A and B are shown apart, each in its own frame.
Chain A
Amino acid sequence: MTQTTRILTVDDSPSMRALLNHALSTQGFEVAQAEDGLAALDWLALNEVDVVITDINMPRLDGFGLIERLREGTRHRDRPILVLTTESSDEKKARAREAGATGWIVKPFDAAKLVAAVRRVTH
């Protein structure tokens, strides 16, 4: 029996979270949502996940901070983390890579490309 892939989406925009939830859950993924980096850390302290998809610009703890915090410990050291952002600068992309991101996706996202990326990093 194949286990369902569990995804945590982290974005401060409820509209974007709703779009992501629709795009991923209709493809059979189990989707949880967090509104910023700190909420994501709280959720991850109590739950297991296969992939994290995170925005960059968020209050309290941004995407860079979230990735750095997750990579500090051993539990999420190898967890695939995809950045999904409106940022298009090479500098920000390099910073995400340095922090330990697995991939970089530019908004507006294409649902098919996003699903393909999730499948690729989980297999």
Chain B
Amino acid sequence: MFERRILGSLERPIERVTVMQGQALVSNDATIEFSTVLGSCVASCLYDPEARVGGMNHFLLSEPPAGLAATTTIDEHYGVYLMELLVNQMLGMGARKSRLRAHLYGGANVNRNMMRIGTANAEFAQAFLKREGIMVMREDLGGTSARRVDFRPASGQIRCRTVEDRLAPPVKPTTRPAIASGDVELF
């Protein structure tokens, strides 16, 4: 009975969901495939093989906001927040941080003017995962070509291939929202 239900669900066609810049999506549905096209942007794909939950984010961090004591070339503070959102969504679906496995893609030098920021974003993602103790299984970062990444979150299957640069939409780095950031409410 149970087996039939699973087979039934696998018979449904795969639904492709595009992960846009600034988004973090998580699923354990075997019929979902996350898909994204990256130029300078970076995508982190996280997977818990035991809970069979996966998630993908897609970001290009900007320089830190003016007025902040900038010690880095990009807004790592906002980057940590975006990564934490992805991890927390996965924990909410039964994943455990100690079981997470990561794949990193993107950060290409497609646009010469954005070369530094693409590289800096890739380095941020690598450093974040290292600090958090999340094992990187595969990374395909840098270079000069755009990439397309397809990720099935319930099985952890990932395919990354280079695509024509024109398929990677021109993007602006994501800045943290100016309003409602770090709001404090004392009870």
Q: Mark B80-104, 1 if CB is under 8 A from A, else 0.
A: 1101110110011000110000000
Q: Find out whether the CB atom of B97 lies under 8 angstroms from the CB atom of A107.
A: no
Does B184 interact with chain A (Cβ within 8 Å)? yes
A residues near B66, Cβ cutoff 8 Å: none
**Measured between C-beta atoms, what is the minimum distance from B139 to chain A in Å?**
18
Interface range on chain A (Cβ under 8 Å from partner): 20 to 34
B residues near A116, Cβ cutoff 8 Å: 184
B69, B87, B96, B187: the one contacting A97 at CB < 8 Å is B187
**Measured between C-beta atoms, what is the minimum distance from B99 to chain A in Å?**
12
Does A75 interact with chain B (Cβ within 8 Å)? no
Does A49 interact with chain B (Cβ within 8 Å)? no
Does B181 interact with chain A (Cβ within 8 Å)? yes
The answer for the CA separation of A111 and B186 in the assembled complex, in Å, is 16
* Count of inter-chain pairs, beta carbons less than 8 A: 76
- Known A-B contacts A103-B187, A104-B187; the reply to A15 vs B80 at CB < 8 A is yes
Q: Find out whether the CB atom of B97 lies under 8 angstroms from the CB atom of A18.
A: no
- Known A-B contacts A13-B132, A14-B131; the reply to A110 vs B181 at CB < 8 A is yes
Q: Find out whether the CB atom of A108 lies under 8 angstroms from the CB atom of B176.
A: yes
B residues near A105, Cβ cutoff 8 Å: 182-185
Interfacial residues, chain B to chain A (CB-CB below 8 A): 68-69, 76-78, 80-81, 83-85, 87-88, 91-92, 96-97, 128, 131-133, 176, 180-187
Which 5 pairs from chain A and chain B are nearest by CB? A110-B182, A108-B81, A109-B182, A103-B186, A117-B184
Interfacial residues, chain A to chain B (CB-CB below 8 A): 12-16, 18-19, 26, 57, 59, 86, 93, 97, 101-111, 113-114, 116-117, 120-121
